[in-house]
Amino acid sequence: MDRSVFITGAGMGLGLSFTKKFLSEGWTVFAGALEPSPALEALRQDHERGLVVTGLDVRSDDSVAAARDAVSGRTESLDMLINNAGINPGKDTPLEELDFRLVSEAIDVNALGPLRVAKAFLPLLESGGFKRIVEVSSEAGSITDCTRTAWFGYCMSKASLNMQGRILQNYLGPRGFTVLMVHPGWMRTNMAGPEATYDPDESAGMLYPRITCPADGIGARYFQYDGKPLNW
Ligand SMILES: NC(=O)c1ccc[n+]([C@@H]2O[C@H](COP(=O)([O-])OP(=O)(O)OC[C@H]3O[C@@H](n4cnc5c(N)ncnc54)[C@H](OP(=O)(O)O)[C@@H]3O)[C@@H](O)[C@H]2O)c1
């Protein structure tokens, strides 16, 4: 069956790995990227039919609407949205030196961004057969298990993203949607650096069967790359 997905933050890191994985599994991929990266461009040249790249700044209503219009020009429906774009600016800054512009920026990209995209892409997703929204969250969004003493913007934004996913599930579940919050693991990307545990290709590979499985009727779930449930 032909399936299609829109992936945000597809220029590098996990978003690029998801793009490669979904293409290799035969999906049509619509890839939203803040900046067109050489890696994504090379992939597009190899998959002229299966990969459509569009500009996307999740901070901007106009940019999100333009991306939606670009996708609408190519398809009448989408099966899945993966809200992957994210940032972690000024993460280790202690309370005494906190720059609220950076906290606000994290919330704008990591929490409001996915909601902007979900709102704009809802008609396309409603027309799709699979009705799946995947929010790339983090273990850092868990309030129960939080031991950090900084990372204000990132942790607050991911906890907010988790709440958003629960509300979306409550609202869209009766319309056939499943909303999943996933922690991809500590990955060797621009965000986490070379010391991290997983290559993002590994994380995308572990998550793929867990986010493309048929709906189980349980509704909103928050879990990590290996399927282990996380505390909200
Ligand atoms: N790395 C980890 O260990 C880790 C752990 C837990 C959760 N996560 C989550 O996993 C997701 C992917 O992270 P990553 O590690 O792959 O990070 P990354 O390599 O830094 O990639 C982040 C992506 O988000 C895009 N992006 C940033 N701001 C954007 C905006 N305003 N509009 C659209 N796209 C934007 C970036 O675009 P550009 O390339 O153009 O800058 C980039 O493609 C994030 O949501 C992150 O919070 C990561």
What's the pLDDT score for residue 216? 84
Q: How far apart, in whole angstroms, are the C-alpha atoms of residue 66 and residue 191?
A: 27
What's the pLDDT score for residue 64? 98
Q: Is the CB of 78 under 6 A from ligand 1?
A: no
Q: Is the CB of 50 under 6 A from ligand 1?
A: no
The most distant pair of C-alpha atoms in the chain lies apart, rounded to whole Å, by 54
Long-range contacts of 65-70 (CB under 8 A, 24+ apart): 65/120, 67/32, 67/120, 68/120, 68/121, 68/124
Query: What is the full per-residue pLDDT of the chain (232 aa) written as tens digits?
Result: 699 999 999 999 999 999 999 999 999 999 999 988 999 999 999 998 999 999 999 999 999 999 999 999 999 999 999 999 999 999 999 999 999 999 999 999 999 999 999 999 999 999 999 999 999 999 999 999 999 999 999 999 999 999 999 999 999 999 999 999 999 999 999 999 999 999 999 999 999 999 999 988 787 899 999 999 999 9
Contact 181, 161 (CB under 8 A): yes
Q: Which of 18, 20, 34 has most ligand 1 atoms within 8 Å of its beta carbon, as the pocket-test mutant?
A: 34
Query: Which residue's CA is the nearest one to ligand 1's atom 34?
Result: 9
Q: How far apart, in whole angstroms, are the C-alpha atoms of residue 107 and residue 4?
A: 28
Give bridge partners of residue 182 from the DSSP assignment. 136, 223
Give this prediction's pTM: 0.98
Contact 164, 135 (CB under 8 A): yes
Rounded to the nearest 5 degrees, what angle is found at the Cα of 141, between the Cα atoms of 137 and 144? 140
Q: Which two tokens stand for residue 171?
A: 């609202």
Q: Which of 21, 87, 91, 161 has most ligand 1 atoms within 8 Å of its beta carbon, as the pocket-test mutant?
A: 87
Q: Is the CB of 90 under 6 A from ligand 1?
A: no
Q: Is the CB of 182 under 6 A from ligand 1?
A: no
Half-sphere exposure of 22 (CA within 13 A, CB side): 29
Gyration radius of the chain's alpha carbons: 17
Query: Which residue's CA is the nearest one to ligand 1's atom 17?
Result: 191
Quote the ligand 1 centre to 174 CA distance (angstroms): 31
Cβ burial, residue 67 (10 Å; 0-12/13-18/19+): buried
What's the pLDDT score for residue 136? 98
